[in-house]
Amino acid sequence: MLILGIESSCDETAAAIIEGNKKSDKVKLLSNSLASSLFLHSKTGGIIPETAAREQVKYIIPVIKEALDKANLKPKDVDAVAVTYGPGLIGSLLVGVETAKALSLAWNKPIIPTNHLIGHIYANFIEPIHNSEYVIQNSEIIEFPAIGLVVSGGHTDLVLINDHKKIKWLGGTRDDAAGECFDKCARLLGYAYPGGPKIAELADKGNANTISLPRPMIGTKDFDFSFSGLKAAFLRETEKHFPIMRNTNKKISWDEIILEKELNDDEKQTLYDLCASLQNSITEVIVRKTMKAADKYKAKSILVGGGVAANLSLKNKLQKNIENQNPGIKLFIPSTNLCTDNGAMIAAAAFFNNLEISWENINANPGLYFD
């Protein structure tokens, strides 16, 4: 079965073709195309929904055409059109959904409405590709029950996956998402959106034990998270160590000065330590709760997805905790280009959770969550 997957929930316009075979536990990726309006948002310090939607309109048809061309396919070869119908920004979502509707009608193919969050988890069900464009993913078989961890700019959720189509939400963030915490703290230091990769880069040069930051909700019995207090603590520590940050007239802001450039070598080290401590707090909380869920539900696999899944410290901590606590659990993290938003994960989720409908019956749902 050949599925065209369309993703347009935020600032990425993406389309991909996958080939699914019921006898295999993974789908094959035939093409993966993407256009991003990220460069526009980095200038404004965050995503402006109107700008993102306008860019989606510009790119959607060329990206879909490129996905078909790269896979050497014609529309008649495709069996179904999968599209993200939520959650996301309404303007961006509508572009993908309305385009999928038009294609479905014109090509006489069914639509498969797909949840973006479930899509992030299903990036792990894409077969590894052995070429330079894609980093190799874990090629082992995914066994259920599995714990799904979605960590992105907008979401931090833990789910229990008993089987395909049997996904139960366990808990999520009560305020900011993990990626949002990375982004907002990075912005405070003067770095453009998305700040996660920048914090990770600076944290590499720092010592996480020098400056202490809280690990919110790490010991609570539930599977919920909270990152807004950590962000506030990060601000307090930044102001404590860098007096320039306390001077409101001179306050460093993302579009004026990058704090790092104002510092001598010793001060720079403090900045790196602060970033290392932030990364450590975020990843420790996520890992502790994920392992707790895996333990409680006797998970055989852990499937991570979303932009923050690209964070190496998170991967290393998960790996280490699995080795120490339960070496039988298999860890799956997509290659970096499949951690962030893409069309392939939407097509993969559609293949395994297949719910084909007619074009008249799909509507964008920005507030969609796990059912």
CB of 197 to ligand KG4, least distance (A): 4
Distances (CA, A) of 156 to 227, 283, 297, 337, 369: 10, 12, 19, 19, 12
Residue 200: which of ligand KG4, Zn ion, none does it interact with, CB under 5 to 8 A by kind? ligand KG4
Q: Report what 273 binds from Zn ion, ligand KG4, none; CB cut-off 5-8 Å by kind.
A: none
Nearest distance, CB of residue 39 and ligand KG4, angstroms: 15
Binding mask 154-193 for ligand KG4 (x = CB under 6 A): x------------------------x--xx----------
Give the chain's length.
Answer: 371
Check: CB of residue 96 under 8 Å from CB of residue 7. yes
- Stretch 271-310 residues interacting with ligand KG4 (CB under 6 A): 306-308, 310
Question: What residues between 5 and 34 interact with ligand KG4 by CB under 6 A?
Answer: 10
Q: From the list ligand KG4, Zn ion, none, which binds 237 (C-beta under 5 to 8 Å, kind-based)?
A: none
Residues 195, 216, 334, 343: which binds ligand KG4 (CB under 6 A)? 195
Site map (CB under 6 A) of ligand KG4, residues 135-154, x = contact: -----------------xxx
Q: Which of 46, 75, 145, 197: binder of ligand KG4 (CB under 6 A)?
A: 197
Number of DSSP helices (H) and strands (E) in the chain, helices first: 11, 10
- Nearer residue to Zn ion within complex by CB, 124 or 152: 152
What 8-state DSSP symbol labels residue 266? H
- How far apart are CB 313 and ligand KG4 at their closest, in Å? 8
What are the Cα distances from residue 3, in Å, to 232, 338, 349, 356?
44, 17, 10, 11
Per DSSP bridges, beta strands 2-7 and 80-86 are parallel
Cα 205 to Cα 253: distance, rounded to the nearest angstrom: 23
CA 160, CA 188: separation in Å to the nearest integer? 35
